[in-house]
Structure 1
Amino acid sequence: MLKWALIFLVISLIAGGLGFTGVASGAKSISKILFGLFLAMFILLILLAWGAGELVF
């Protein structure tokens, strides 16, 4: 999921640089949503691992 967020981030940067503002804003919105989902899942999994006592760093 992080891969898709980064892909849409790159698309939005390229489209913004070329002047395609509609495409850039759409890709930016999608990348923000995907990154938020990835971050929430990451935090949830860290908390679950910590609760199970198997947190390894």
Structure 2
Amino acid sequence: MNSSILKSILLKSKENKDIISVWQYNGDKSSLVGYVSDIAEEHVNFQLYTHMVKVMV
């Protein structure tokens, strides 16, 4: 992973167990809320607390 704002946010979440939200634009337009448990070159492991779905009324 190149040094970037995203990488610094992910590393901070991993080191301090800071809660972050990851917005998913595909499909159901939902958000994953939790913290990063591991980072590798090809993937990020995420400890999930909740899955939020945007409801359109």
Q: Which has the larger radius of gyration?
A: 1
Answer 1 or 2: higher relative contact order, Cα 8 Å, separation at least 6.
Answer: 1
Higher strand share: 2
Q: TM-score, normalised by structure 2?
A: 0.29
Q: TM-score, normalised by structure 1?
A: 0.29
